[in-house]
Amino acid sequence: MSIKQTAKQIIPAPLWNAARASFDALVRIPELPAAYLHPWRRASMERLAALKDIHRGQRCFIIGNGPSLRQTDLSKLRGECTFGVNRIYLLFPELGFTTTYYLSMNDLVIKQCAEEMLALPMPKFLTWRSHHFFRRETFNVQHSTPDMPTFLYTTYTGPKFARDVTGRLWEGATVTYVALQLAFHMGFEQAILIGVDHNFVTQGAANQTVTSEGDDPNHFAPNYFDKGFKWQLPDLETSERAYRMAKAAYEAAGRQVLDATLGGKLTVFQKADYPSLF
């Protein structure tokens, strides 16, 4: 057991979380000028401001990448507003359509798949940290290049639910939580989760970096994180904490998050029968 894991067991949770938040705030100080003054980030903030409430009153589907997607009739999503994450694009040729929006927040995933992500045709949202993976000449500094992602300033600590995503967002240990914040910002009345199985075959310490040794049993395709791909084990405890914050924020605003994942293990949100939604 690492020193960090031992300390987390000994120190009361409120004190541990407060210490992490304080440390995170100090770490962010050197980043802030670039995060707000860099032309890519300024362009992103302008884009995000323009997206505020553009989908007011509508519903959206946030698609996880769990194995349950193989039992889900995704053809029903054609014409719906959808958020896809990470390597969901592996399904696009089979589906015959793409998601409306795309997100990825994990540094390892973005680093290994940056070129694939940039080739996607829909609006893309990436963590600001990932801008280091792209050459300055990749995008027009006047942000006129269609392929330029919108960069979100996300952090690992400092739990919050952002109703306006032009500023800082807490990642909540899952890109799905970021998608819920972005959907709220866009004004969606109802966000429906599918493919969020919240269950992993591969076991180990939360956030531990591992390298895939063969077929991937944790996602919808065996080549999702195929042999040699580096990824981090999930932190389901932190994700559940984040989901509870999302549930409270949506309900306080008179909105709703439903979980229509087939056989999913997540118990935070009200369950919905996927076929009955259409």
Encode pLDDT of 70-129 as tens digits.
999 999 999 999 999 999 999 999 999 999 999 999 999 999 999 999 999 999 999 999
Of the candidates 104, 106, 77, 107, the one whose C-alpha atom is nearest the C-alpha of residue 92 is 77
Arithmetic mean of pLDDT, 146-171: 92
pLDDT at 144: 46
Integer Cα distance of 69 and 263 in angstroms: 10
Encode pLDDT of 37-64 as tens digits.
788 889 999 999 999 999 999 999 999 9
pTM of the model: 0.87
pLDDT at 34: 67
Integer Cα distance of 100 and 102 in angstroms: 7
pLDDT at 271: 98
pLDDT at 251: 98
pLDDT at 24: 57
pLDDT at 148: 82
Arithmetic mean of pLDDT, 2-8: 54
Lowest mean pLDDT among 75-89, 147-161, 242-256: 147-161
Encode pLDDT of 220-242 as tens digits.
999 999 999 999 999 999 999 99
Integer Cα distance of 192 and 37 in angstroms: 35
pLDDT at 17: 54
